[in-house]
Chains A and B, each alone.
Chain A
Amino acid sequence: MRDRGLIFTGLVLFLGLITFPVWYNLASGTSSKPPELKLPTTEKQCVAPTETMRMSHMEMLITWRDQVVRQNDRTYVAADGKRYDMSLTNTCLKCHDNKAEFCDKCHDYAGVKPYCWDCHIDPKLVQRSKG
C-alpha cells in the first residue's frame, strides 16, 4: 500500500488542529493578561470577601433568587452581621453600576453567558432610553 502521502497529510492536519489555539491566539495577538474591571468607588465593602465573590457569586445569586421568588425572604445577613436587600438590581448593581465594564468583562473572557439578563435589565440601558 502506497498511502504514505495520505497518512502524512492526515498527521499534519491533526497536529495543526490540535495546536489550533496557539495559532488562533497568535493571530489575534492575545496576551495572558486578565480583563481589567471597573470597580465601584462608592462602597469599600462587598456582601462577601473578594475571593468568595470571584468564585461563588453565581451560587449566591441563584440562592438569592430562590429565597426571594420562592420564600419571599429578602434579607441577606452577611458574615459580618450586616443586612442587605437580596436584589441583583438594587443591591449588586447599585455599586457595580456598569454591567459592560464589570459583569461582562469576565463573563466574555471566560465564555460564560449567565441568563440573569433574560429577566433583569441593565440599569444603564434604561437610563439611556429615558434620556
Chain B
Amino acid sequence: MSALYSLLTVLVLILLAYFGVAAAHLGVLFGTVIPFAAIAVFLAGLAYRVVKWANTPVPFRIPSTCGQQKSLPWIKQGRLESPSSTLGVMGRMALEVLLFRSLFRNTKAELRDGPRLVYGENKWLWLGALAFHWTFLVIFLRHLRFFMEPVPRLVNLLADVDGFFQVGAPVLYVTDLVILAALLYLLFRRLRDPQIRYLSLFTDYFALFLLLGLAGSGVLMRYFTRADIVAIKELAIGLVTFSPVIPKEVGPLFFVHLFLLCVLLAYFPFSKLMHAPGVFLSPTRNLANNNRMKRHVNPWDYPVKVHTYAEWEEEFHDKIKAAGLPLDRE
C-alpha cells in the first residue's frame, strides 16, 4: 500500500508541474520561485541538521567494529575493520563512503527444507546501491554544463567518456541506462521479498519513485520528446546568476524534471536521504577503536553530590547507638 501511495504522490507532483505550466502558465512559479525556495531549503536545512549533529556530545569512543582490535604485538590487528589510528579511520571511512563496505557485508537468511536456517552472501543490494550512487554523481556533474558558461573541460570530458559508445544522436549516455536499471532493481528488491516489503515505508518508496521520475523525465527529454537545451541552459544560467529568465521554448516536460528536482532538494534535509552527510558523522564509524590505549574522560562530567555511609553514620550516630546497633566508628 505504501508503495502505491508514494507512486501516486509522485504522479500528482508530475501532473502538478506539467499542467501548472502547460495549462495554467505558471512558468515563473515553477521555473524561478520554487527552484530558489527549494535550494534555500536544501542548503539551510542541511546546514541546520549538520550543525545540530556537531553539537551533540559524543564523549566516548563507540565504534562498531568487526575486526580484531589492536592488542598484543603477535595478534594481527584488523587495521580497517577496527582502526586504532586516525589514518585507519580515514581508510575505513573511505571504504564506506566510496565503496559502501558495510553493504558489501550484507547477508541473507533463508529457511530451507529440514527446516534448516541458511545464511548466505547477498551482494545485489551493494551492487545496485553502488551503481545508483556513482551514476547519480556522474549525471550530477554532467549537468554542470547547463549551469556553467563556458563549460569546464572536465565536464565535457566526463560527457565524452559517458557517451563513449556513440549510439544515436544525441549520443546515448551509459549512466542513463545504469541509473534506471539500478533504481528499478532497488524498487524491485523492496517489492519482491515479503519481509522487505513489510519493512518498507512510504518514505522508502517515495525517494525511489522521485528519483525514477527525475531520471525518467530526463531520459524522455533527451532521447524521445526532445527539448531545446539552449533555452534550458538560458534558464539554468539565469538561476545561478540570480537573473532568472523563462524562455518560451522550454517545454512543460522540462518543468516536470525541474520540479521533481526541487521536491528532492527540499525533501532532502528532512528525510533519510540525510545519510549522505550522516555517514561522515556516525560515531560508530568515524572514531578510532582505542578505548584500551587511551583513557577517554567525559569532558561533560560534573561533580555529583554524594552521601557516603560514613557521613550517614555520622548523621544518625546517636539514634543508631540508642538502638544498640553496631557502628563502624565508635
Interface residues in chain A, defined as those with a beta carbon under 8 Å from any beta carbon in chain B: 1-4, 7-8, 10-11, 14-15, 18-19, 21-22, 24-26, 28, 30-35, 51, 54-56, 58-59, 61-62, 106, 108-115
Contacts and interface: CB of A to CB of B under 8 A. Distances in A.
Given A32-B241, A111-B155, A15 B150 contact: no
A49 B146 CA distance: 25
A21 B148 CA distance: 6
B149 A28 contact: yes
Interface in B159-210: 159-160, 166, 168-171
A112 B170 contact: yes
B148 A25 contact: yes
Contacts of A15: 43, 47
Interface residues of B, number: 53
B99 interface: no
Contact of B148 (A24, A33, A51, A113): A24
B273 to A, nearest CB: 14
Contacts of A115: 166, 171
Interface string B138-167: 000000111111111001100110000010
B249 A54 contact: yes
B169 A111 contact: no
B200 to A, nearest CB: 29
Contact of A25 (B51, B226, B227, B241): B241
B159 A30 contact: no
A57 to B, nearest CB: 9
Given A1-B59, A35-B230, A62-B169, A25 B155 contact: no
B95 interface: no
A106 B58 CA distance: 54
Nearest to B286: A3
